[in-house]
Amino acid sequence: MKAFITGGAGFIGSNLADRLLETGTEVTVYDNFSTGQDKFIRHNINNPKYTLISADVLDKNTLISAMSGNDVVFHFQANADVRGGIHNTRIDVEQNITGTHNVLEAMRVNNIKKIAFASSAVVYGEPEIIPTPENIPLIQTSLYGASKISAESLIQAYCEYFDMKSYIFRFVSFMGPRYTHGVIFDFMKKLKEDPTKLHILGDGKQRKSYLHVSDGISAILLAMKKSDKKTNILNLGNSEWINVTDLAYIVCENLGLKKVKFSFAGGIRGWKGDTPFVHLDISKISALGWKPDYSVKDTIIDTVKYLSENDDLLGAR
C-alpha cells in the first residue's frame, strides 16, 4: 500500500507515518511546515519507503502531482487552533474547507478511492448528551467546528459522486510524543516563564477527555480494516475525563513544582467556542475490538515527560 499523509510532519501525522512505515507501507508526507517540525521526521528521510514533499494543500496543482500513484489519503492537515477563528475569520475556511476540497479534487483526478479524515469532537458544539454519540444533531459554537463539519460534508458528497470510501474520525484532544499545542503545552510554557504561578483560562472546572496519540492511531488503523461502509464516522476518545484544575495539578507535580498559585479568568468556558464538557461515546470504535492502553492520567504524564525532554518545542510557538 502507498499512503499519502497531509500534515505528515505534524504531531499526529508524523506518528502515523512512523506506524505505517513499520508495517511496510510506502509513505508520502505532504506538509507546509507551518506547525510541522523537522525533528519529527528527520529519522525517516533516508528510508527508501519515505518521501517528503514540502508544499501547501492550497497549492492544488502541486498537490495533484504529488498525490499521483497513492492508494489511500490520510488528510490530517488543518488549522489546529480552535480559538484562532475569533481573530482570523478566514483561516478555518481556507485551511480546513478549501484545503479539504483540494485534497478531494486531487483524489478524484488521481482516481484514489479511500480517505481518512481527522475531524474533531468540536463539531458537537455543546451537546446535551454526555457521553456524546456520533448520531446527534450538530450545532456549531466555533468557526473551527463549522469548518470541520463542512469538510466532513464535502467528503461524504465526493464519496457519493465518485465512489470513494471515507473514514471520518471525531477526535478528543490527542496527547503524547510530539504534542505541540493545547492545554499542557500552554501550561508548561507559562510555568517555564514563571514556575510560581499558573493562569488558567476558564474556571478550572471544564471537564475534558484526552487520548494518547498511539491509542488514537491504533483506533484509526483498526477502523479502516474493519469498517466497510461508504462513509464511516467514528468517535475517538477515552472512557475517562478530568477537569482542568486536576490536570494542572498533575502537570505541576510531574514537573516537581510545589505550591504553584493558580488564577482563573472567565466563566465556564476558557474562550468563546470552548466546550465545558467533552466526553465522547466510544462504543462504536470499541465494538470493533479497540480500547485505549493509556488512562487519561498516564496520557498527561507521558506528555509532560516528552515536553520536559524536548523543551525547545515550548519556545517554537
Tens of pLDDT, residues 188-233: 999 999 999 999 999 999 999 999 999 999 999 999 999 999 999 9
As annotated, the active-site residues are 144
Distance CA 29, CA 166 (A): 19
Q: How far apart are CA 126 and CA 295, in angstroms?
A: 24
Bridge partners (DSSP) of residue 50 are 27
Q: Name the percent of the chain lying above pLDDT 70.
A: 99
**Residue 51: phi, psi to the nearest 5?**
-125, 135
Q: Residue 117's beta-bridge partner residues?
A: 75, 168
Residue 243, all three cell numbers: 477537569
Query: What residue ranges define each of the domains in the chain, with the CATH number in brackets?
Result: 2-174+210-236 (3.40.50.720), 180-208+241-276+295-315 (3.90.25.10)
Q: Does position 84 have pLDDT exceeding 80, yes or no?
A: no
Q: Give the tens place of pLDDT for each residue, 102-147.
A: 999 999 999 999 999 999 999 999 999 999 999 999 999 999 999 9
What lies within 8 Å, CB to CB, of 169 at 6+ separation is: 116, 117, 118, 119, 216, 219, 220, 223, 234, 235, 236
Q: Which three cell numbers stand for residue 103?
A: 485534497
Tell me the pLDDT of the chain averaged across its residues.
96
**Residue 43: partners with Cβ closer than 8 Å, 6 or more residues away:** none
For the question of whether the overall pTM of this predicted structure is more than 0.85, the answer is: yes
pLDDT in tens, 12-65: 999 999 999 999 999 999 999 999 999 999 999 999 999 999 999 999 999 999
CA distance 167 to 115: 6
- 115 touches 75 (CB < 8 A): yes
Cell digits of residue 89: 475569520
Helices 296-309 and 183-193: crossing angle in degrees, nearest 10, is: 50
Q: Round to whole Å and give the CA distance between 178 and 184.
A: 12
Distance CA 135, CA 130 (A): 12
Q: CA-CA distances (angstroms) from residue 47 to 41, 51, 98, 234?
A: 11, 8, 32, 32
Computed on alpha carbons and rounded to an integer, the radius of gyration of the chain in Å comes to: 19
According to the model, what pLDDT value does residue 316 have? 65
3-state secondary structure of 92: helix
The total of other beta-carbon atoms located within 10 Å of residue 206's CB is 24
CA dist 30 and 6 (Å) reads 5
Q: Which are the contacts of 115, defined by CB distance < 8 A and separation ≥ 6?
A: 72, 73, 74, 75, 103, 104, 107, 155, 164, 165, 166, 167
Q: How confident is the model at residue 317 (pLDDT cuts 50, 70, 90)?
A: low
Looking at the DSSP assignment, which residues form a beta bridge with residue 174? 211
Distance, in Å, from the CA atom of 299 to the CA atom of 305, rounded to the nearest integer, reads 10
